[in-house]
Structure 1
């Protein structure tokens, strides 16, 4: 059982130090002496899996934006627990024109895309992810942030001599953001 626990912790990116500390804490909480054989099995299980598991990263290597898993996790956190920043949040999707002659845009264009998105959204409290020829953005809802999103869309359309143009933008409110997004969409053409 300890070997399986160690393996599971390694698969989830937990360090050996934290794994062993948690295991020791279990014995302390149960007011039991630490079982050295079980601790060794835990470490062996962790080591076997840690060598084969790719490193967990929150950043996409092509764009420098969030990975899908990290982005989805953040949406869940904001939806479930709120956020450290006050006010409602919303999702925006900038739908880009896909590449004409291949399955995805070249890596240099994707790197420029990520750099442009990060630059345009810096200081807004937003998080962005690129997937399927679209940039998905979780952002705190404000007039300033909506304007920055529109600027971001324009910058992306200009990248690579317009290789991703024309782009369209869609908004998806989270909870109380519905009315504010609707009002903004009525007052501006997207």
Structure 2
């Protein structure tokens, strides 16, 4: 269990205090005594992770870390059961954190709070802020994009915008990005759009970007320089 925990941390587990659950012990015991993880145990762990606000990508990465720590080949069937348990629980689990479990991006409530804070207190940096909305094509065969695709979308957005000071949220087939407005950040956002459009064999392209200036205080008009046109 200690090796699994350490390996999971090394592979990107974000909040160490949230890692241990009773289901973790059950999975470890099964692997140690039976050299396998039964489907019900994997499913229970996936459901527990979802109820605790852990995204699907982080949940699956953590499960892979178990087999790395045990020096065993990945059990694909157990991984599938884990994902199924996570998906079933995520449908009914109430949001308990500022992170959306499907994408790993900000929840709508947290995103709106950040906009409110900036409107009241102003930005903490020298740059004005802008809201960028990257509108994605609607899925053709269902009402929403597959959760596996959303997990990859969240990973791409976080990776491409890392270090920019941006906060991102996915809602209604669009990625909303609140970011300090600078030439470098706009360039990074364009690179992020390009990376998104490559996902799912082009299922998320073409993506259209719209920019909206954000006032830093109620009585202060938003700066207009450097605001790109919709693209």
Under a length normalisation based on structure 1, what TM-score does the superposition of the two structures give?
0.67
Question: Structure 1 residue 164: deviation in Å?
Answer: 1.1
Aligned to 2:104: 64
Count of residue pairs the alignment pairs up = 133
Which 4+ residue blocks in structure 1 deviate beyond 6 angstroms?
none
Aligned to 2:155: 115
Q: Give ranges in structure 1 of 5+ residues lacking alignment.
A: 1-52
Aligned to 2:138: 98
Q: Distance in 1 between matches of 2:111 and 2:164?
A: 16
> Are 2:183 and 2:226, in contact at CA under 8 Å, matched by a contact in 1?
no
**CA offsets 1:63-108 (integer angstroms, 9 cap, x no match):** 0000000000001101110122222000000000111000111111
Q: Distance in 2 between matches of 1:87 and 1:113?
A: 27
Question: Structure 1 residue 54: deviation in Å?
Answer: 4.6
> Are 1:90 and 1:177, in contact at CA under 8 Å, matched by a contact in 2?
no
> Are 2:198 and 2:205, in contact at CA under 8 Å, matched by a contact in 1?
yes
Equivalent positions of 1:158-177 (< 5 A) are 158-175=198-215, 176-177=222-223
Q: Give ranges in structure 2 of 5+ residues lacking alignment.
A: 1-92, 216-221
> Are 1:121 and 1:152, in contact at CA under 8 Å, matched by a contact in 2?
yes
> Are 1:128 and 1:138, in contact at CA under 8 Å, matched by a contact in 2?
yes
Rg comparison, structure with higher value: 1
Instruction: Tell me: higher relative CO, structure 1 or 2? Use CA pairs within 8 A at least 6 residues apart.
Output: 1
Q: Distance in 1 between matches of 2:189 and 2:223?
A: 16
Under a length normalisation based on structure 2, what TM-score does the superposition of the two structures give?
0.55
CA RMSD of aligned residues (A): 1.6
Aligned to 1:180: 226
Aligned to 1:150: 190
